[in-house]
Amino acid sequence: MTTIRESDFIQSIADALQFISYYHPRDYIQALSAAYEAEESPAARDAMAQILYNSRLCAEGRRPICQDTGAVVVFLRVGMEVRWDTQRGLQALVDEGVRRAYRHPDNVLRASIVSPPIGARQNTGDNTPAVVHVELVPGDRVEVRLAAKGGGSENKARFAVLNPNADLVDWVLKTVQGLGAGWCPPGMLGIGIGGSAEKAMLLAKEALLAPIDIHELKARGPADPIEALRLELFDKVNALGIGAQGLGGQTTVLDVKIRTYPTHAASLPVALIPNCAATRHLEFVLDGSGPVQLEPPRLTDWPAIIWTPDSTARRVNLDRVTRAEIADWRVGERLLLSGRLLTGRDAAHQRLAELLARGEALPGGLDLTNRLIYYVGPVDPVRDEVVGPAGPTTATRMDGFTEALLDQGLIGMIGKAERGSEAIAAIKRHGAVYLIAVGGAAYLVSKAIRSARLVAFEDLGMEAIREFEVCDMPVTVAVDSRGESIHQTGPDAWRGRIPGITPART
């Protein structure tokens, strides 16, 4: 009978979470490298170059790929002959591993879990609790599959119960088109078909843990209807032209994974969950011999890509920028920002809106006149860092606050993904702009940050308002002062341009 010691299990969970925070899976790097080489869209190609270069920097520096270091999801297959040398339950064991991983002094990870989920939403401070799924199986081993799932991609999870004779491909294509770019493509799609509502969602989540092998499948051809469906969806989703970061291009997904389960004769439950450019997952086995031993990948697994700013990019002095100057910027134009930049995201925007609604002044020292704000919740710094990885969060969540802050003199915002129609209308009315940084290049972005100071709402932690001093921070104009959006024009220009693929249904 195998005995699993408490310390071995906890250490294995902690080590695995640290490992995946800075090492992309090898199959993802290979797939993204191949997509980069084939990509013809300059904007998408630049975004993929930033993601690949960021990935290498993180592997070398052992710092997080993305500032959103994810909610931890663990699937355990526990052999029924296993004996546990512990007085704790499995949830408590996993949570202790998460706690140690996220508080590791040499690579602090961002705590993002809040409790309760409604109301106060106080950050738990250590990213616990994890979401744990347990299955008892024959045998004397413990199989562990874990992932750290970012909020941007998790927020795009979708579920429907279709009629049994419904066109599943049509549902997937329409659903993906409705996701926007907040899930940071290119990534993977996990699809669960069958079972019940909760089973379909679990199938989709588990599907994302499988290795990328779509090109091998293309080469040998499908062996069954599910493999044929994977190939059809892969081609048709990419034919949508959404592209990297939603900028328009040839690659939106690197693979489509499908898991199925028998279902009721009257039902066709279908779940879709995307995985982002910061894909993080790992599996290992504990057999009682000690904690897992993880072998780091070779740096030769990464392509020899060193991203540098576009020589034609417009340099912008944030300390002197005016509304008249930004009126000249055009959608798709690349900028390099230097100077002082405010930060803030959901919770900070909510507090500012409440102050303004009550007719109260903004916090002391906060003046939005002719300023830009960066939607970011950075990782805490370690060693000699000014700030930890600091990539953009999904801007759409701030849409409801946009008008109120533009009224206060704000002239620009920086985030990732598209803006909604009301936010774009407000941007146009005020002659403001919306810029995007690359989601999945958080460590690279942090290299442009020279200093950081707290401005307001210290109790909000990573969501507090700060002021960054940046030098040559790379961004792209996503919505210009005329209200034109690259997340509309980019995909429109590329839809149906992929050779040999029939344009997807819209």
Q: pLDDT per residue over 392-442, tens digit each?
A: 999 999 999 999 999 999 999 999 999 999 999 999 999 999 999 999 999
- Outline where DSSP puts E strands in 61-138: 71-79, 83-85, 114-115, 122-123, 131-137
Q: What share of the chain is helix, strand, coil (3-state, %, to 5)?
A: 35, 25, 40
Let me know whether 162 and 145 are in one domain: no
Q: What is the mean pLDDT of residues 266-285?
A: 97
Predicted confidence (pLDDT) per residue in 227-273, tens digit:
999 999 999 999 999 999 999 999 999 999 999 999 999 999 999 99
The separation between the first and the last C-alpha atoms of the chain, rounded to the nearest angstrom, is 57
pLDDT greater than 70 at residue 498 = no
The answer to pTM > 0.85 is yes
Tens of pLDDT, residue by residue over 160-199, are 999 999 999 999 999 999 999 999 999 999 999 999 999 9
Are residues 455 and 365 part of one domain? yes
Report yes or no: 506 and 177 within 8 Å, Cβ to Cβ: yes
Are 359 and 480 spatial neighbours (Cβ–Cβ below 8 Å)? no
Q: What is the CATH number of the domain that holds 429?
A: 3.20.130.10
Cβ-in-10-Å burial (0-12, 13-18, 19+) of 404 comes to: middle
Check whether residue 327 and residue 245 sit in a common domain. Answer: no
Do residues 39 and 141 share a domain? yes
Interatomic CA distance for residues 393 and 404, integer angstroms: 20
Whether 372 and 388 map to the same domain: the answer is yes
17 within a domain of the structure (yes/no): yes
160 and 242, same domain (yes or no): yes
Question: For the residues 268-294, what does the mean pLDDT come to?
Answer: 97
Residue 370 shares a structural domain with residue 424:
yes
**One domain for residues 177 and 146:** no
pLDDT in tens, 35-46: 999 999 999 999
- What's the pLDDT at 310? 87
| Coil, helix or strand at residue 255 | strand
> What distances in angstroms separate CA 377 from CA 78, 89, 154, 406, 480, one per listed residue?
36, 32, 17, 21, 24
Between 495 and 470, name the one with better pLDDT: 470
- Considering its fold, how many domains does the chain have in total? 3
Contact between 66 and 278 under an 8 Å Cβ cutoff? The reply is yes
What pLDDT is stored for residue 365 in this prediction? Answer: 82
Sequence-distant (≥ 6) Cβ neighbours of residue 367 within 8 angstroms? 409
Range of the domain at 394: 314-491
- Angle at which helices 168-179 and 225-238 pack, to 10 degrees? 40
Domain for residue 370, yes or no? Answer: yes
Both 146 and 192 in a single domain?
no
Taking the C-alpha atoms of residue 115 and residue 300, their distance in angstroms, rounded to an integer, is 42
Does the pLDDT of residue 48 top 60, yes or no?
yes
Measured distance CA(233)–CA(213) in Å, rounded: 14
Is residue 497 included in any domain, yes or no? no
Q: Do 34 and 7 share a structural domain?
A: yes
What pLDDT does 500 receive?
Answer: 52
For the chain, the farthest-separated pair of C-alpha atoms sits apart, in whole angstroms, at 74
Residue 144: Cβ-neighbour burial (10 angstroms; 0-12, 13-18, 19+):
buried
Q: Which pLDDT belongs to residue 176? A: 97
CB atoms within 10 A of CB 224: 8
pLDDT-derived band at 495, boundaries 50, 70, 90? confident
Do the Cβ atoms of 462 and 377 come closer than 8 Å?
yes
| 505 within some domain | no
DSSP string for 362-374 = PPTT---TT-EEE
pLDDT, one tens digit per residue, over 313-354 is 999 999 999 999 999 999 999 999 999 999 999 999 999 999
392 within 8 A of 152, measured Cβ to Cβ: no
194 part of a folded domain: yes
pLDDT band at 506 (very low <50, low <70, confident <90, very high): very low
Establish if 265 belongs to a structural domain.
yes
pLDDT at 103 over 80: yes
In whole angstroms, how far apart are CA 433 and each of 340, 414, 428?
17, 9, 8
Q: Are 232 and 225 in contact (CB under 8 A)?
A: no
Angstrom distance (rounded) from CA 398 to CA 416: 11
Tokens 């701030």 correspond to what residue? 398
- Those residues whose C-beta lies under 8 Å from the C-beta of residue 359, and which sit 6 or more positions away, are none
What is d(CA 277, CA 274) in angstroms, rounded to the nearest whole number? 10
Residue 419 lies in a domain: yes
pLDDT score for 497: 75
| Rounded distance between C-alpha atoms, residue 174 and residue 275, angstroms | 18
Query: Are 350 and 268 contained in the same domain?
Result: no
Strand partners, 136: 78
Query: What 3 state SS string does 412-476 have?
Result: EEEEECCCCHHHHHHHHHHCCEEEECCCCCHHHHHCCEEEEEEEECHHHHHHCEEEEEEEEEEEE
- Is 292 domain-assigned? no
How many residues are present in the chain? 506
Let me know: does 355 contact 362? Beta carbons within 8 Å. yes
Closest CA to 29 of 305, 307, 394: 305
Q: Do 342 and 440 sit in the same domain of this protein?
A: yes
Mean pLDDT of the chain: 95
- Residue pair 297/22 in contact (Cβ under 8 Å)? The answer is no
